[in-house]
Chains A and B, each alone.
Chain A
Amino acid sequence: MRFAVIRFPGSNCDLDVVYVLRNVVGVECDLVWHKEFKSEIYDGVVLPGGFSYGDYLRSGAIAARSPAMEEVRLMAEDGRPVLGICNGFQILVEAGLLPGALLPNENLKFICMWVNVRCDNGHTAFTRGIPEGKVLHIPIAHKEGRYFNEEVELERLSRRRMIVFRYVDEKGEATSEANPNGSVRNIAGICNEEGNVLGLMPHPERASEPVLSPYGDADGLLLFQSMVRYVKR
């Protein structure tokens, strides 16, 4: 089993994801420059966080046109897991692999903090084994993370259970106070209809060892473990 983490110019969370996959999860993982990425030898791929192409034009807009994304599209189509974290989520959205847009935060600030996110779909490639309704502790760090979509499309996302993670309070309620960036319906992460492509603004790789969490848990690790189980199935 072998995974790839794609590095774009400006990626800066790539090594953290590689570390978690190799040293914490214990699978083979390559760090691959986007111009050299070929999908055939990989069972899954992660698009890491960062500021690809300096966020010029819009976060993720230029990386989304990289030839690497055609390879990622092939992986998505044949059911292999594709995970986009933060800037990786923005790239997936701009490439059209996930629906919607990620706009500047409502308060126009870069927000770096631990948040509570609730898992609303425990059947995706990345959430198997996470009980629905479970609140996870994972940090965010972004300036353009306000998920936006139009009402009709939000209804479809909701009906097809494509809204996977929502920002919530400690009790698991999706209140406006618990919404850090103004995302519609407190959306923190969504998947495609098949559930093998997931994008989320929180950084699970920064919450994959208890020593890194103020809560002493490792909730982010659940996503990577689920991805590995999904490939083994």
Chain B
Amino acid sequence: MKTYIVEVIIENKPAARDPEGETIHRDLILKGGYVNVRSVRTGKYLRMLIDANSPEEAEKLAFEMCNTLRIYNPVAHVYRIRVEE
């Protein structure tokens, strides 16, 4: 078994407004002159260390956990899982 770094990134669905991301974009980034930045979305970031036999197994465990324990709310959020060795 190896230990993998597993990152879970949760953000609002496009239909659910993200006022924090909108404010960072409008009042910091655009006003700071970075006009090529089209949008900003904030979210929640969880970094875990998971013991597993393969990166696929670590990802599967994280996926199952996110759904069983409702780490995200499927009504309002989308999430991504990234695995690093």
Task: From the candidates B16, B69, B70, name the one contacting A148 in the complex (CB within 8 A).
Answer: B16
A103 to B15, CA, bound (A): 12
Task: Scan B2-16; emit 1 where CB is below 8 A from any A CB, else 0.
Answer: 000000000011011
Task: Scan A84-106; emit 1 where CB is below 8 A from any B CB, else 0.
Answer: 00000000011010011101101
A57 to B12, CA, bound (A): 14
Taking the closest CB of chain A, its distance from the CB of B64, in whole angstroms, is 15
- Whether A108 contacts B70 by the Cβ 8 Å rule is no
A96 to B23, CA, bound (A): 31
Task: From the candidates A65, A96, A103, A108, name the one contacting B12 in the complex (CB within 8 A).
Answer: A103
- Judged by a CB distance under 8 angstroms, whether A64 is at the interface is yes
- Judged by a CB distance under 8 angstroms, whether A40 is at the interface is no
Contacts of B16 in A (CB 8 A): 101, 103, 148
- Judged by a CB distance under 8 angstroms, whether B73 is at the interface is yes
Task: Scan A106-119; emit 1 where CB is below 8 A from any B CB, else 0.
Answer: 11100000000000
Q: Which residue of A lies closest to B42 (CB)?
A: A104
Contacts of B19 in A (CB 8 A): 104, 106-108, 182
Taking the closest CB of chain A, its distance from the CB of B84, in whole angstroms, is 22
Q: Which residue of A lies closest to B77 (CB)?
A: A101
Contacts of B71 in A (CB 8 A): 57, 61
A171 to B77, CA, bound (A): 35
- Whether B20 contacts A101 by the Cβ 8 Å rule is no
A56 to B16, CA, bound (A): 20
- Whether B75 contacts A100 by the Cβ 8 Å rule is yes
Q: Which of A138-176 contact B (CB under 8 A)?
A: 148-151, 153
A153 to B69, CA, bound (A): 22
- Judged by a CB distance under 8 angstroms, whether B76 is at the interface is yes
Q: Which of B44-85 contact A (CB under 8 A)?
A: 44, 69-71, 73, 75-77
Q: Which residue of B lies closest to A182 (CB)?
A: B17
Contacts of B20 in A (CB 8 A): 104, 108
A88 to B71, CA, bound (A): 18
Contacts of B44 in A (CB 8 A): 57
Taking the closest CB of chain A, its distance from the CB of B4, in whole angstroms, is 21
Taking the closest CB of chain B, its distance from the CB of A190, in whole angstroms, is 12
Q: Which residue of B lies closest to A151 (CB)?
A: B15
A149 to B19, CA, bound (A): 17
- Judged by a CB distance under 8 angstroms, whether A123 is at the interface is no
